[in-house]
Structure 1
């Protein structure tokens, strides 16, 4: 299905799909309005999900960090990733890699919490590398916006190693949430 008009790639109709069946925003862009659980997994239409993070919010960096930490503490790393993604997309160019790396860390925790150990470990390491690389760069530093980047990267690498070695089920995202500003 090409998704644009309810047809498959050959232009044949797909049963049950029409333009009206697609979730669209006020500008006509595709948006998935299905409810989601706390880890961002789609639920059936009509099911009760958790409130979604609004997209495209421009927040001051301190507010982004505080909101992401709140969501991580609640066991909602997928939602925290959306906050980091907003900061990455709306922030200054010189900070984009920092926020992108933090978003990858949150997605890594999301995957580990969903039971995707391989993807979780990979994203935790990728995010840790991005954050560490940004901190070592010309515009970086160890504690921008009060973030404990050394602590966050150590947390991510430790969790990635644990996830790789474990044969059990999903990681508890609330219990394994990072402290973005260091020990409380």
Structure 2
């Protein structure tokens, strides 16, 4: 089997074909995994937030991060830091749920810093609530040794 060929997309870019679990961790080839998020999907902001919330509620913050990443890459320049910050919040929760609590806390703080720069309620986002959620969770997990339950800790994106 030619793994190099299998793990590249049609343009020749590296794309890891290994299955992943619900927190995005690679599993052995041939293992049953969670369906991956398609890459490069262009959604409007409301669709992005609905899909990301669905994934967060299901305990799949890694997959929600991929949805936010699509928005950050495809969205207007003026909004990229918002979507990037939301992606970092989701990755921070991912790391905290995987047991990398120190890394999770750092990413939650970075994401909070990015989204805090957006005033008002862009697309109905509860920016102040997300910042408080992220900083509170970062404080808790930064001092903890145990992973968190991703679904139980999922934020509410819209207020």
Q: CA deviation at 1:142?
A: 2.1
Query: Which of 49, 58, 64 is equivalent to 1:74?
Result: 58
Please state if 1:118 is matched with 2:112.
Answer: no
RMSD, matched Cα: 1.0
Question: What are the equivalent positions in structure 2 for 1:91-170 lying under 5 Å apart?
Answer: 91-133=75-117, 135=118, 141-167=119-145, 169-170=146-147
Equivalence map 1:51-66=2 (5 Å): 51-66=35-50
Gaps of 5+ in 1: 1-17, 136-140
Match of 2:27 among 30, 35, 43: 43
Alpha-carbon separation, structure 2, partners of 1:127 and 1:59? 21
| Structure showing greater relative contact order (alpha-carbon pairs closer than 8 Å, 6 or more residues apart) | 2
For 2:111 and 2:144, the matched residues in 1 are separated by 20
Q: TM (normalized to structure 1)?
A: 0.83
Structure exhibiting the larger radius of gyration computed from Cα positions? 1
In terms of fraction of residues, the more helix-rich structure is: 2
Q: What secondary structure does 2:151 align onto?
A: coil
Using the alignment, how far apart are the partners of 2:101 and 2:33 within structure 1?
24
Q: Secondary structure at the match of 1:174?
A: helix
- Measured in 2, the distance between the counterparts of 1:154 and 1:31 equals 35
- How many matched pairs? 157
Listed as ranges, the gaps of 5+ residues in structure 2 are none
Residue 27 of structure 1 deviates from its aligned partner by 1.0
Deviations 1:122-179 (A, max 9, x none): 000000001102x1xxxxx321111100001100000000112223x11000000000
Structure 1 CA distance, aligned partners of 2:103 and 2:40? 26
Give the TM-score normalised by structure 2: 0.96
